[in-house]
Amino acid sequence: MKKPLLTAALLLSMSLGGTAFAQTGFLDSATSGDGAQEDPATQILSDTLTYNDTSKTSRFTGNVIMTRGPLTMTADQLDLKEDDEGFQYGTATVAAGKRVYIRQENPAKFEVLVGLGERAEYDGRHETFDLIDRALLVRFICGRPFDTISGERVRYDQKSDTYRAFGGPGSENPQGRVRSIAQPRSKIDAAIEACSKLQASGASIPEVPRMQ
């Protein structure tokens, strides 16, 4: 299903105590009139926002925090553009020595995916996120790391819930290789069951540590 077009009327920006705010033209409701699933709203907070209605491009700078459904991304700068069909594409960057931070939660499975990279690119048409240079993706279950994949580039596909990694000189691993650690499915299932019991008892679910 194609994404709805982003128009000037649906891109709202205002000054909030020196902070820029924008909500893109993704529909906010959970379903449409025919029962089809709609895309969640995207909210972006930043220190400044520059929007060009002619080219359909936006630049957010300074302490950028983007939230779209269960996904959150933080960066120093985010550039967004939209094609003629309404699909959006974004590039997030940070200052030297830092990494873009992406986090996506799946509460039903007590799962959190955390991604890091010196740059991140989003392809709205294919619903993929690319983490580029010193790229790292870690899957947490009940606050504990289970699967880890790293390389020069790590791509996460939101539609299929799969990820791929590519080696190269931007990888932190020896010889620029891809490194992957995967736990047996039985351990993951056991962790989910243990976390479910923990939640049922009223205890707090362990927090995922903040990664840099």
Which string of DSSP letters, residue by residue, matches the chain? -PPPPP-GGG-EEEEETTEEEEE-SS--SSB-TTSPBPPPPEEEEESEEEEETTTTEEEEEEEEEEEETTEEEEEEEEEEEE-TTS-EEEEEE--TT--EEEEEEEGGGTEEEEEEESEEEEETTTTEEEEEEEEEEEEEETTEEEEEEEEEEEEEETTTTEEEEE-STT-SSGGG--EEE---HHHHHHHHHHHHHHHHTTPPPPPPPP--
Quick one: pLDDT at residue 161?
81
CATH number at residue 12: 2.60.450.10
Contact 139, 113 (CB under 8 A): yes
Q: Residue 209 domain-assigned? A: no
- CA 198 to centroid of chain Cα atoms: 27
Residue 211 lies in a domain: no
Residue-number span of the structural domain to which 155 is assigned: 8-200
| Phi, psi (rounded to 5 degrees) for 151 | 175, -165
Residue 13 lies in a domain: yes
Q: Evaluate whether residue 207 is within a structural domain.
A: no
Asked, for residue 3, whether it belongs to a domain, the answer is no
* Total of domains in the chain: 1
List the pLDDT tens digit at each of the 212 positions of the chain. 444 333 322 233 333 334 444 444 322 333 444 555 566 788 999 999 999 988 889 999 999 999 988 889 999 999 999 888 888 899 999 999 999 999 999 999 999 999 999 999 999 899 898 999 999 999 999 999 999 999 999 998 888 888 899 999 999 999 999 999 999 999 999 999 999 999 999 998 888 988 87
In a domain, 210, yes or no: no
Q: What is the pLDDT at residue 38? A: 64
pLDDT score for 156: 86
- pLDDT at residue 37, as a whole number: 56
Residues β-bridged to residue 89: 81, 123
Q: What is the pTM of this model?
A: 0.78
